[in-house]
């Protein structure tokens, strides 16, 4: 492993985008490729040949991307492979390819430079748009542009991996999806200067189980290819000039963690029961079909929250009934007899949808969001309900309405559902006979009147992300009040307790799908408060199942009775740790 150059170890902070520890020899994927692109004026007699050369590069790039797409589909997944459809569409877009040709012809610029200029312009334009989906396409065009330039310069599009150590940490200014498509097996971690948790490649890294730290900034230049580094994807740190014994310890920790994860995942394939024989369902939260594989691999007993808004956010138009039906059907088929709780559109608040023309509001979180929006935009709502009802024939569907706080809202939503069911039955569609219809409890109003709502809801799922912000009047996304935003605040815990008791009295199931549900530190408390189902990001399932198996429900209930009497989140945490 690389030589220690006697400099003192130094730790740099980035963003942990994929958990785990890794130690290895860094390899730069590419260093500012843009700096070496030649720029020259071509003679008018060369123009036709230059355009031909460019067209050949387009054809070769297309061939390479198709190859990459196939290998990603095989090794990572169908959803991840779809990223490359966007890449291919740029190569067929006259506004991009045609513009490069025009630049070669009218400005007599060599193809590499024309390609770089048009790519940069398009990228800047996309990045400036107020839509996350289109912003993400800015990364796509960069990836395509880089590949085109590489082809023009005679590159093969393959990274030269000869001489890479058995433990390689890939270092890059920024990673593109195609960089991860054919990653050699000896790559054990990723470090980048730029990028965020939501980058396509961050999601791919999590799927691949590769620890990654992004956003290291200029500190990335402290990394030398001659010396090993240690990265911690949980803490978001990178240690340069580490001591040899620390590198060894990190490698051992990584191996142990890999083995523990493998065992925990294996154990998680079975349902979890408490020591006194109470089954607690541990479900996955998903944002789309791309999350299904991880949910299944981690042993999800079902899906507790399918956030359908991503289907809308990823599109530049209202998803049609048919488009939605296909997605819901695939999710239901993947889980068969296990329940899939699909939440109807939760838009508004911090989730803006450009084509929805949402009103500009002073307090969007207190405004026209979730079920409130859907009950006003009936066509949007009914399109989704029809798609859901049709998909119900293919699995075990539960439908959940977000942000319900009055019986009137629940009744109105149910009425639309019933009317859609009638319509579809008349049109001859098959549907499940019984579809449980529940609500999210995510406002103090819903929690306090849970006994009333329980009479007409078939199940509850407590959304602690919102319940916490509304109870404590602390915006969930505002770093300045992050210290106040604590789901373990006794005020929130009492509302959870009250909701669970109301559900039990009415004989309906109650679960939780906010982030709090996935924190193993609180599993025993949550079981004690009365939750029968916990739903979370797939990677937390194995450890939460492990905690459930170590919990005695009766003792947990006594614990919960004590904890709700405490006065602060700090006291709650101290009390739990002391046990």
Could you give the 3-state DSSP secondary structure of residue 145? helix
Contact segment (CB under 5 A) with Mg ion among 69-77, 213-221, 455-463, 484-492 equals 455-463
Q: What burial letters (b/e) apply to 527-550, b meaning 16+ CB within 10 Å? A: bbbbbbbbbbbbbbbbbbbbbbbe
**Which string of DSSP letters, residue by residue, matches 350-416?**
TB--GGG-PPP-SSGGGSS-HHHHHHHSHHHHHHHHHHHHHHGGGSEEEEEETT--SHHHHHHHHHH
> Residue 385: phi, psi to the nearest 5?
-60, -40
- The pattern of x and - marking residues 191 through 230 that bind Mg ion according to CB under 5 A reads ----------------------------------------
**What is the nearest approach in angstroms of ligand PEP to the Cβ of residue 298?**
18
Report in angstroms how near the CB of residue 404 gets to Mg ion at its nearest.
11
Stretch that binds Mg ion, among 48-56, 308-316, 441-449, 546-554 (CB under 5 A): 441-449
The residue to which tokens 């209202």 are assigned: 318
> Which option in Mg ion, ligand PEP, none does residue 24 bind, with CB closer than 5 to 8 A by kind?
none
The 3-state DSSP class for residue 459 equals coil
CB nearer to ligand PEP: give 115 or 492.
492
Burial of 348 (C-beta count, 10 Å sphere; 0-12/13-18/19+)? buried
Residue among 410 and 534 whose Cβ is closer to ligand PEP? 534
Nearest approach in angstroms of CB 467 to Mg ion is 8
Query: What is d(CA 21, CA 134) in angstroms, rounded to the nearest whole number?
Result: 33
- Min separation Cβ 535 and ligand PEP, Å: 8
With respect to Mg ion, which residue has the nearer C-beta, 145 or 348? 348
Measured distance CA(387)–CA(325) in Å, rounded: 5
Indicate whether 463 belongs to the interface with Mg ion (CB under 5 A). yes
Out of Mg ion, ligand PEP, none, what residue 513 binds, judged by CB under 5 to 8 A for its kind, is ligand PEP
Residue among 50 and 466 whose Cβ is closer to Mg ion: 466
Residues in the chain: 579
| Contact in structure between 301 and 534 (CB atoms under 8 Å) | no
**Of ligand PEP, Mg ion, none, which one sits near residue 514, judging by CB under 5 to 8 A according to partner kind?**
ligand PEP
Residue 378's contacts (CB-CB under 8 Å, 6 or more residues apart) are 416
Q: Is 151 an active-site residue?
A: no
Partner that binds at residue 172, options ligand PEP, Mg ion, none, CB closer than 5 to 8 Å by kind: none
In the complex, least distance from residue 87 CB atom to ligand PEP, rounded to whole angstroms: 30
Question: Which option in ligand PEP, Mg ion, none does residue 390 bind, with CB closer than 5 to 8 A by kind?
Answer: none
Please tell me the distance from the alpha carbon of residue 368 to that of residue 306, in angstroms, as a whole number.
Answer: 21
Nearer to ligand PEP, 90 or 470 (CB): 470
- What does the alpha-carbon distance between residue 244 and residue 228 come to, in Å, rounded to a whole number? 9
Nearest approach in angstroms of CB 437 to Mg ion is 18
Smallest separation, CB 442 to ligand PEP (Å):
5
Q: Which of 167, 200, 489, 497 is catalytic?
A: 200
- Cβ proximity to Mg ion: between 466 and 533 the closer is 466
**Interface segment toward Mg ion; rule CB under 5 A; list 227-235, 271-279, 308-316, 434-442:** 434-442
Q: Which stretch binds Mg ion (CB under 5 A): 187-195, 439-447, 448-456, 563-571?
A: 439-447
Calculate the alpha carbon distances from 173 to 115, 192, 250, 361 in Å.
20, 5, 24, 38
Task: State the residues that interact with ligand PEP by CB under 6 A.
Answer: 305, 307, 346, 442, 463-466, 513-514
Least distance to ligand PEP from the beta carbon of 307, Å?
Answer: 5
Cβ proximity to Mg ion, 22 vs 440, nearer residue: 440
- Residue matched to tokens 């400005």: 107
Residue 62 or 369: the one with the smaller Cβ distance to ligand PEP is 369
What residue 189 binds from Mg ion, ligand PEP, none (CB within 5 to 8 A, per partner kind)? none
- Cα distance from N-terminal residue to C-terminal residue, the chain: 42
> In the numeric block, which tokens belong to residue 304?
């507790």
Nearer to ligand PEP, 180 or 305 (CB): 305
Chosen from ligand PEP, Mg ion, none, partner binding at 140 (C-beta under 5 to 8 Å by type): none
Q: Catalytic residue at 87?
A: no
C-alpha closest to that of 139 among 114, 191, 97, 174: 174
Q: Which two tokens stand for residue 289?
A: 């079909």
Scan residues 325-354 and list those touching Mg ion (CB under 5 A): none
CA distance 146 to 152: 10
Residue 563: exposure state from Cβ atoms within 10 A (0-12, 13-18, ≥19) = buried
Select from 205, 335, 207, 346 the least CA-distant residue to 283. 335
Q: What region, left, alpha or beta, does residue 59 occupy, with left being phi > 0 and alpha being psi -120 to 50 degrees?
A: alpha
307's contact among Mg ion, ligand PEP, none, with CB below 5 to 8 A by partner kind, is ligand PEP
- Give me the least distance between CB of 370 and Mg ion, in Å please: 7
What sections of 427-456 are H helices per DSSP?
444-448, 450-453
Residue 410: name its binding partner from Mg ion, ligand PEP, none (Cβ under 5 to 8 Å by kind).
none
Q: What are the catalytic residues?
A: 200, 513
Contact positions toward Mg ion, by CB under 5 A? 442, 463, 466
């Amino acid at each position: 492993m690389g030589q220690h150059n006697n400099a003192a170890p130094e730790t740099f902070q980035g963003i942990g985008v994929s958990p785990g520890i890794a130690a290895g020899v860094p390899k730069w994927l590419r260093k500012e490729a843009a700096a070496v692109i030649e720029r020259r004026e071509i003679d008018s007699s060369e123009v036709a040949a230059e355009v031909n050369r460019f067209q050949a590069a387009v054809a070769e790039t297309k061939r390479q991307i198709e190859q990459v797409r196939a290998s990603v589909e095989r090794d990572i997944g169908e959803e991840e492979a779809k990223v490359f459809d966007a890449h291919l569409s740029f190569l067929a877009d006259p506004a991009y390819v045609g513009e490069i040709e025009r630049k070669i012809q009218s400005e007599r610029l060599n193809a590499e430079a024309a390609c770089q200029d048009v790519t940069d312009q398009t990228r800047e334009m996309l990045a400036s748009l107020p839509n996350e989906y289109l912003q993400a396409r800015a990364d796509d065009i960069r990836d395509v542009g880089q590949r085109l330039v590489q082809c023009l310069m005679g590159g093969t599009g393959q990274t030269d991996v000869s001489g890479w150590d058995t433990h390689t940490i890939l270092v890059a200014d920024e990673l593109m999806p195609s960089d991860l498509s054919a990653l050699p097996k000896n790559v054990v971690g990723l470090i980048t200067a730029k990028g965020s948790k939501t980058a396509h490649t961050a999601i791919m890294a999590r799927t691949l189980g590769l620890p990654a730290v992004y956003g290291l900034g200029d500190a990335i230049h402290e990394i030398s290819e001659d010396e090993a580094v240690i990265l911690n994807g949980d803490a978001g740190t990178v240690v340069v000039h580490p001591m040899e014994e620390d590198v060894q310890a990190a490698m051992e920790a990584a191996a142990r963690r890999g083995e523990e994860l493998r065992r925990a995942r294996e154990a998680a394939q079975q349902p979890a029961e408490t020591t006194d024989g109470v089954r607690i369902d541990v479900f996955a939260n998903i944002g789309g079909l791309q999350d299904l594989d991880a949910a299944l691999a981690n042993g999800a007993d079902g899906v507790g929250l399918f956030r359908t808004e991503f289907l809308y956010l990823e599109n530049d138009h209202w998803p049609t009934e048919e488009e939605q039906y296909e997605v819901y059907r695939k999710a239901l088929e993947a889980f068969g007899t296990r329940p899939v709780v699909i939440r109807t559109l939760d838009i508004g608040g911090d989730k803006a949808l450009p084509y929805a023309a949402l009103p500009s509001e002073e307090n969007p979180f207190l405004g026209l969001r979730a079920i409130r929006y859907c009950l006003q935009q009936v066509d949007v709502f009914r399109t989704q309900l029809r798609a859901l009802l049709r998909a119900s024939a293919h699995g075990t569907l539960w439908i959940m309405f977000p942000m319900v706080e009055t019986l009137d809202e629940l009744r109105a939503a149910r009425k639309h559902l019933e009317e859609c069911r009638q319509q579809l039955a008349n049109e001859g569609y098959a549907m499940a006979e019984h579809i449980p219809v529940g609500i999210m409890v995510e406002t103090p109003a819903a929690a306090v009147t849970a006994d009333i709502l329980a009479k007409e809801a078939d199940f509850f799922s407590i959304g602690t992300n919102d319940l916490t912000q509304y109870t404590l009047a602390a915006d969930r996304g505002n770093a300045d009040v992050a210290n106040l935003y604590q789901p373990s605040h006794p005020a929130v815990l009492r509302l959870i307790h009250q909701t669970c008791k109301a559900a039990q009295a009415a004989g309906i199931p109650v679960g939780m799908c906010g982030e709090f549900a996935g924190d193993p530190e609180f599993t025993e408390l949550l079981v004690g408060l009365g939750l029968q189902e916990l739903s979370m990001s797939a990677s937390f399932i194995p450890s939460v199942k492990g905690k459930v198996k170590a919990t005695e429900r009766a003792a947990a209930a006594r614990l919960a009775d004590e904890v709700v009497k405490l006065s602060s989140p700090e006291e709650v945490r101290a009390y739990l740790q002391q046990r």
